[in-house]
Amino acid sequence: MLLADFGTSYCKIVDTTSDRAPRIMATRELQRSFCADLATGHNAARRSKKSINELTALARGGRRLINRGDFVLLDCGSRDIKFIRFEDGEVADMGWNAECGASMGFTIELLAAYYRLDYSAIPVPETGFSITCGVLGMSHIFDSVVMGASETEAVAKFVRGIALNAYRFAREPKELYLSGGLCDNPLFVASFPCQVNPLGRFVLLEGLQTTLEKNCLDP
Amino acid sequence: MPGQVGIVGVPPLVIIEEIQRRGDLIIDLDEPQVQAPMDLSASRIPRVYCAILRTVVLNCMHLRLDRLYIDVGPGKCDCALHVAEILADMLPIPVIRTRNQDTRSFGHPLCTADMPLVEKFTRITRGVQSAAPYPDLDACQPVCGFWGVPPRDFSLLSLFPPTTHIFGWTRCMENKTPADLALEQHFDPAIPTVFFSQSFCAKSALAQHLAAKHPRAVAIDCDVTAGSSTRAKIEAFLELSGIEPQRGGAD
């Protein structure tokens, strides 16, 4: 069975009949004819035989990976952010910001490529920009550079602002589990004002795996 | 000869009765009445604004009305108060501002009935044009709740099961007491509830506030049309609350 998480920028794919680890590929490089058996994400309905909702996949993946009854799981994607809060093993709160908080992950990656930055070598700045989305945040970077800040410093403040925005969106928990590509960005992870446990990029695939097993058990 | 009377919001009952006595046709300007691009209204009203009031302006640009009643009191919103000024300047007809503070309760049988949610909202919004009492309807056991105003795009309602109870301003609307803030704030903490508001609407603050107080709730907002993200969010909320979302909707 081919399971796929079709993200806006990257696709995560795993073949459950093989021992090979999940693979990540740029969405723009995925063959047009590719079709998964079970998938989630923006293009899932078009590119799979069966699809499930992203937030549902996130919740099921979180429940599978996190052995606790109470936790907050935040997924920061290329285009949107989502969170789920579990209480006593049940979903107690959730959110999905796809409009006003849009394009955060995408913009962070774009800026690194444009300014040739290595996020693992940038310290967390003392303050961040107050920003609501990737596009509006770009204006802060340009203004800051015009005012004399270095590009690296300005982008670092942008990243910190994005992290703070995501943290507030998740209702400011003392501790959170992080899912998505930004787990690999040390500056982003360190910019949260709370304890962060990165889970990596395959949480939604784990949610698909749970769905698959559940469906197999209950045909 | 009967005239065409536009209404915005819920005018006082005495106005509805008067329009009916004269035999005029009521046109609800809060709902899309013309097939025209929304952007045409941008010359009169900002693009980043309540989609309901943008729809009102768009309707007024295309319809031939004889008179217009717009509620600008606590039963509507400040935005309507300001849009009334635009309409008064724009239209060569009387634009009559009302402040509906009716307190006579008509009840809200549709809000609690077992009926497709789109049908319930259609009947409730149509009910504004009538002063007649409602027929009795049995209340159903609710599996979830929808709090808020009638959305600009009814297609998002198609995701909900027929046993969804309606709360918020729509309930006030059916009750014919649109300024009843206590009724507007009422919700059922025992059922998972979607707190809906139009994007850029002042009621979004109340939606978020009440959603935070409710033990199992999500606040969503939507502009002109319900995009795939909005629909997906509702689907996920229902699914994760143990409710199978209806699949017969638009998209």
Per-residue pLDDT tens digits for B152-195:
999 999 999 999 999 999 999 999 999 999 999 999 999 999 99
Q: In the prediction, which pLDDT does B175 show?
A: 97
| Of B145, B184, B135, nearest in space to B166 by CA | B145
b or e along B160-193 (b: 16 or more beta carbons within 10 Å of the residue's beta carbon)? bbebbbbbbbbbbbbbbbbbbeebbeebeeebbb
Most confident option among A45-54, B7-16, B226-235: B7-16
What ipTM did this prediction achieve? 0.73
Classify strands A10-15 and A23-26 as parallel, antiparallel or unpaired: antiparallel
SS (H, E, C) A90-104: EEEEEEEECCCCCCH
Q: In the prediction, which pLDDT does B141 show?
A: 97
Task: Please answer yes or no on whether A56 and B218 come within 8 Å at the CB atom.
Answer: no
Q: Residues A199, A121, A22, CA angle at the centre, nearest 5°?
A: 30
pLDDT band, residue B249 (cuts 50/70/90): very low
Residues of B in contact with A93 (CB under 8 A): 217-218
Cβ atoms B4, B64 nearer than 8 A: yes
Using one digit for the tens of pLDDT, what is the confidence trace for A87-119? 998 888 888 876 555 567 888 888 999 999 999
Q: Where are the alpha helices (DSSP H) in B38-128?
A: 51-62, 78-90, 117-127
Q: Cα(first)–Cα(last) distance of chain A, in Å?
A: 16
Task: Please answer yes or no on whether B239 and A53 come within 8 Å at the CB atom.
Answer: yes
Burial class of residue B148, CB neighbours in 10 A (0-12, 13-18, 19+): buried
Compare all CA atoms of chain A with the CA of B231 and give the residue at the minimum distance.
A53
pLDDT band, residue B14 (cuts 50/70/90): very high
Quote the tokens at residue B147.
């709090």
Is 80 exceeded by the pLDDT of residue B248?
no
Cβ-proximal residues to A39 (8 Å cutoff; 6+ apart), any chain: A3, A4, A5, A6, A47, A48, A50, A51, A52, A208
Q: Is A56 an 8 Å CB contact of chain B?
A: yes
pLDDT band, residue B123 (cuts 50/70/90): very high
Q: Cα(first)–Cα(last) distance of chain B, in Å?
A: 42
Q: Where are the alpha helices (DSSP H) in chain B?
A: 13-22, 51-62, 78-90, 117-127, 169-175, 181-185, 203-213, 228-240
Is 50 exceeded by the pLDDT of residue B251?
no
Task: Please answer yes or no on whether B218 and A59 come within 8 Å at the CB atom.
Answer: no
b or e along A39-74 (b: 16 or more beta carbons within 10 Å of the residue's beta carbon)? bbbbbbeebbeebbbbbbbbbbbbbebbeeeebbbb
CATH topology for B4-98 is Rossmann fold (3.40.50)
Cβ-proximal residues to B105 (8 Å cutoff; 6+ apart), any chain: B175, B176, B177
Is 90 exceeded by the pLDDT of residue B227?
no
Parse chain B into domains and list their residue ranges.
4-98, 110-240
Is 70 exceeded by the pLDDT of residue A217?
no
Cβ atoms B73, B11 nearer than 8 A: no
CA–CA gap between residue B178 and residue B184 (Å, rounded): 8
Using one digit for the tens of pLDDT, what is the confidence trace for A155-211? 999 999 989 989 998 999 999 999 999 999 999 999 999 999 999 999 999 999 999
Residues of A in contact with B230 (CB under 8 A): 98
The torsion angles phi and psi of B129, rounded to 5 degrees, stand at -80, 0
Using one digit for the tens of pLDDT, what is the confidence trace for A75-86? 998 878 899 999
Q: Is B5 an 8 Å CB contact of chain A?
A: no
Task: Please answer yes or no on whether B236 and A80 come within 8 Å at the CB atom.
Answer: no
Residues of A in contact with B215 (CB under 8 A): 92
Task: Please answer yes or no on whether A55 and B240 come within 8 Å at the CB atom.
Answer: yes
The mean pLDDT of B203-210, rounded to a whole number, is 94
Task: Please answer yes or no on whether A91 and B240 come within 8 Å at the CB atom.
Answer: yes
Q: In the prediction, which pLDDT does A218 show?
A: 44
Strand order from edge to edge, sheet including A23-26: A23-26, A10-15, A2-6, A36-41, A48-51
